[in-house]
Copies of this chain bind each other. A is one copy, B any other.
Amino acid sequence: MDAKELITLAGEWIEPSLKKVFPEELSDDITVKASMYSLLAGGKRIRPCLMYLFGSLLGCDLNEVLPYATSLEMIHTYSLIHDDLPCMDDDDLRRGKPTCHKVYGEGIALLAGDNLLNRAYEILFKECMSGDLAKIRAASYIASKAGIEGMIGGQSIDLDSEDKTIDTDLLYELQDKKTGALLSAACMIPCFLKEASAEVASQVMEYAMHIGLLFQIKDDILDVEADPSLLGKSTGKDERDHKSTFVTLLGMEEAQSRMNGEYQGCLDNLAALESLGYDIKDLKIITEFLAERKY
């Protein structure tokens, strides 16, 4: 299978689950409509795809992994809705479509974000109801990665450093939290569910750190180089907003070189997993895709 087929396969796994996160009888609620508008607006579903591939690699029951991938994608989507609001990044376009507040107004978009976040945890608590400690630890891990010590912490540094130049160390911390935290949850959840050994979990954890940085450096590069119609959002925003990014701080050449370093890091961790007897073929394909993506 190539990257496109893998992404399609993961998509066929996650999409039906995303469609069912609210009960049918609430489908007329305006906040539910706005939530579903953003949740089903497409996107590459990278986090569910990584969770699917690590779940497969470790031999998890993918039905047990699914609610975690669903919740994580809901948390990712809520963060996009709130980030796009005028008081944050003020974006009109997301995944090639008008942003949630452009369609439903700011009040409902705010509430739709809250709704997706809260519902993600309702789903995770349901998974905890069995009392199975592996499932509870996995749910708790997502919450910690989504919070002030993870994604929200990164957003906070980001907002706080608007119109300031930050140094590379702080940029690494910011991105490690803002983008890296949910990506590492995506990779790590199967380790929790399968109660993987420390040896395996540490390789997956390192892979997750590298793929998070690879992903973000690539995002910064694409903001300069990509075709907006392919990307599904406007480009050149970082310069317009005087944002510190890997490209603005380090220059394009050094950003490219650091991205290649992260890519190599990913491959090293995958090789270590291969030497432990795991089939890394599909993860290698997706990693290469993420490094070379044009959107």
Given A31-B148, A32-B148, A152-B31, check contact A143 B122 (CB 8 Å).
yes
Question: What's the number of copies of this chain in the assembled complex?
Answer: 2
Chain A's interface: helix, strand, loop or mixed, by majority?
helix
Pick the residue among B107, B137, B143 that contacts A118 (CB under 8 A).
B143
A168 to chain B, nearest CB (A): 20
Residues from chain B with Cβ under 8 Å of A88 in the complex? 107, 110
Contact with B along A125-136 (1 / 0, CB 8 A): 110110111001
Tell me, in angstroms, the Cα distance from A105 to B88 when the chains sit together.
10
Q: Does A111 contact B (CB under 8 A)?
A: yes
Pick the residue among B31, B131, B143, B153 that contacts A156 (CB under 8 A).
B31
Given A87-B110, A114-B82, check contact A122 B136 (CB 8 Å).
no
- Contact between A136 and B144 (Cβ–Cβ < 8 Å)? no
Q: Does A147 contact B (CB under 8 A)?
A: yes
Which one of A22-30, A199-207, A286-294 contacts B?
A22-30
- Scan residues 32-71 of chain A and give those whose CB is less than 8 A from a CB of chain B: 32
Tell me, in angstroms, the Cα distance from A126 to B133 when the chains sit together.
11
Q: Does A108 contact B (CB under 8 A)?
A: yes
- Contact between A133 and B131 (Cβ–Cβ < 8 Å)? yes
Q: Does A155 contact B (CB under 8 A)?
A: yes
- Scan residues 73-97 of chain A and give those whose CB is less than 8 A from a CB of chain B: 78, 82, 85, 87-88
Tell me, in angstroms, the Cα distance from A107 to B132 when the chains sit together.
38
Q: Does A159 contact B (CB under 8 A)?
A: yes
Using a CB–CB cutoff of 8 Å, the interface residues on chain A facing chain B are: 22, 26, 29-32, 78, 82, 85, 87-88, 105-108, 110-111, 113-115, 117-119, 121-122, 124-126, 128-129, 131-133, 136-137, 139-140, 143-144, 146-149, 152-153, 155-157, 159-160
7 shortest interchain CB distances as A-B pairs: A87-B106, A125-B140, A31-B156, A118-B147, A131-B131, A122-B143, A121-B121
